[in-house]
Amino acid sequence: MSGAIERISDLLDLGGPVVALLAGLSVLALAVVLYKLWQFSAARVGTHARLQAALDAWDAGDRGGARARLAESRSHLAPLAHLALDGGRDTAIRERLEAEAAMSFARLERGFRVLDNIGQIAPLLGLFGTVLGMIDAFRALQAAGSAVDPSVLAGGIWVALLTTAAGLAVAMPTTLALSWLESRVTRERDFADLLLARAAAPRAPARADAGGADHVPA
């Protein structure tokens, strides 16, 4: 453990403030990704077995069964589904449903801009650090005059390139994580659109059940 800490400290010393800034961005990106994973898990993103069963019962005309299955769901879309089943055909309710769905997805997408900015700025910071390092290396070369040591020049160049590698190391996993999170939200949005459409236009009319809660009007 102490050896790993020493290596990290050496990298920070070699790369200077640019690598230190990139290290801070990597910690921020990791924190955001872990928070989003926790949020998605708590909201049951992608876990809609009970909602799907409720929609199937609704399509079959079993209104009571649909509501019973919906009551068991812990998905973040369950309140939306409740409102949709109660009055999804009404224009005013439909507008409210769309607004609440937009707010629900806005909460899921919170933090995406941070990850996107880190993914874009990290390579630029790395390149900036490399340019600064190359300037220092060639300045040392000029100062040495005819007594230049090639090993010193090579050492300065690889240290300069270290910041580019660090920038790419931060940007690539951040971009991949953001793409995965965005794909999950896209699938959630598609499912919500399907939910609203099926709630507003079920395939079968309501049928009478044993308790008489739902019935076909005479």
Q: Give the count of alpha carbons within 13 A of 181, CB side only.
A: 29
pLDDT in tens, 150-184: 666 666 677 778 889 899 999 999 999 999 999 99
Q: Place 217 in a pLDDT band, splitting at 50, 70 and 90.
A: very low
For the chain, the structural domain boundaries read 2-200
Give the span between the Cα atoms of 213 and 101, in whole angstroms: 29
Digit-coded pLDDT (tens) for 121-150: 999 999 988 888 888 777 777 776 666 666
Q: What confidence score (pLDDT) does residue 207 get?
A: 65
> What element of type H or E holds 213?
none
**pLDDT mean over 108-119:** 95
- Cα–Cα distance measured from residue 3 to residue 58, given in angstroms and rounded to the nearest whole number: 61
Helix (H, G, I), strand (E, B) or coil at 37: helix
- Position 215 scores a pLDDT of 42
The position carrying tokens 């809609």 is 48
pLDDT, residue 135, reads 80
Q: Are 112 and 125 contacting, i.e. CB atoms less than 8 angstroms apart? A: no
Backbone angles phi, psi at 39, to 5 degrees: -60, -45
